[in-house]
Structure 1
């Protein structure tokens, strides 16, 4: 039995796969102006889905859900502020430094926390807790309305900076598709249905337009995340939490600065 349990990919293995594909994707993003072919971008399509899945695992297995949420929120703010600072100091043509998957993960996990609170409120027959859960789920959407208002013509110049510090679907890399994470949370006891959900979201990202599926319309390739996730054995593996949190901003900033120093134009 022990041998069977060890088969497949651990949480650590999937993270390593995710950051490897992420690095390749961002290398293309920063150096496309130097001739890195567009097809290299295809490697990055499954990455967000992999980390959304892992965020479900992190949320359901952490000993402190609020601290987990706080880490994601701090990661989001550090990334947002770092992007603004580096974007002012360096330039890669017209390429803006907007990457911040912490927004997607924070909103997704916050929504999971809200769903959990709603379920507890119903189970405990506590209407106040149920309403609190609904409010938690709604907060990112309400902040999106605020963000939209702040981007209207005539708003102060600092309003755009405020928007970038609000973790909302409005600024998230995957927009409303970040809600794949909460859907995977709802299906956490049914791995096969999780894979179906990933396929469904992949279809939705095409907008049901099936032209240019390997050129402009490539987000559907997130469906490839099904392959490693189907092999996930539920085990943690090695724990290098600090490394993974640091790798994301540092590799993006490093590639952007290098591209700027080399005079790459987007």
Structure 2
């Protein structure tokens, strides 16, 4: 039975469900870090890599890349507003910070992948405008971080309030959950037709984290489901993640609030 499953491989649905399970375990540690041991957090290290890989698959096959990006941006704003409301209404007594927003990372990833598309258009048509567009989109997540950082440093209450507004509506690399790791997404997109190259890119990032002493190197275990990925979609649950992600985080946060007071 096991050998038959391994031969069949994992669909997009299978990889997504695995990522969701590991994500929930990781967030249980986050919300109950005072009682749940640190090693539980290790299970969540491959999650971002799995969702980055799936975002490359989704962006490559979607019928409308603009609508794909718009859904993610809507998720960024809704998640940011919800986090802010939850933190204000139910302030954590044990210091749980509600800053989760994987939609921001995934949206920035689509901006970077759009940059790769612009480079491909330039290569095919030799239109210089596409070259500049590609460079601009690749730098945009970093450029948008500059005003947010500058505004945050302003004295008084105006700076933090304006910064909060920008953090809600202006996704950027400084606010990304996975920081500079979002640049793994365009690399995976560039190598989307070669799984060995994609696995090599992930391995390189894992080694870099290992050298810095971060246990984020455990992202290397994402290679197992990626190696088993068979390129098939599986059951269609397009909007499930958009609902489940904020619902489970806010649910766990409320549970933490009432139990850990």
- Give the TM-score band, short-chain normalised: over 0.9
Report matched runs for 1:106-117 at 5 Å: 106-117=107-118
Q: Residue 151 of structure 1 corresponds to which residue in structure 2?
A: 152
TM-score (norm 1): 0.91
Q: Residue 177 of structure 2 corresponds to which residue in structure 1?
A: 173
TM-score (norm 2): 0.92
- Partner Cα distance (1:178, 1:202) in 2: 14
Q: Note the C-alpha offset of 1:94.
A: 1.6
Contact between 2:13 and 2:236, CA under 8 Å: does it hold in 1?
yes
Larger helix share, 1 or 2: 2
- Partner Cα distance (2:31, 2:206) in 1: 25
- Partner Cα distance (1:159, 1:200) in 2: 38
Q: Deviations over 1:7-40 (max 9, x none)?
A: 100000000000000001001110122x111111
- Partner Cα distance (1:94, 1:32) in 2: 10
Contact between 1:111 and 1:137, CA under 8 Å: does it hold in 2?
yes
Q: Residue 32 of structure 2 corresponds to which residue in structure 1?
A: 31
Report matched runs for 1:81-230 at 5 Å: 81-92=81-92, 93-154=94-155, 156-165=159-168, 166-206=170-210, 208-210=211-213, 217-230=214-227
- Partner Cα distance (1:209, 1:230) in 2: 26
Uncovered stretches (5+) of structure 1, i.e. residues with no partner: 211-216
Matched, 1:244 2:241: yes
Q: Note the C-alpha offset of 1:153.
A: 4.1
Tell me which stretches of 4 or more aligned residues in structure 1 moved more than 2 Å: none
- Partner Cα distance (1:204, 1:182) in 2: 18
Q: Note the C-alpha offset of 1:138.
A: 2.2
- Partner Cα distance (1:54, 1:80) in 2: 22
- Partner Cα distance (2:163, 2:70) in 1: 23
Uncovered stretches (5+) of structure 2, i.e. residues with no partner: none
C-alpha RMSD of the superposition: 1.8
Q: How many residues align?
A: 254
- Partner Cα distance (2:91, 2:238) in 1: 31
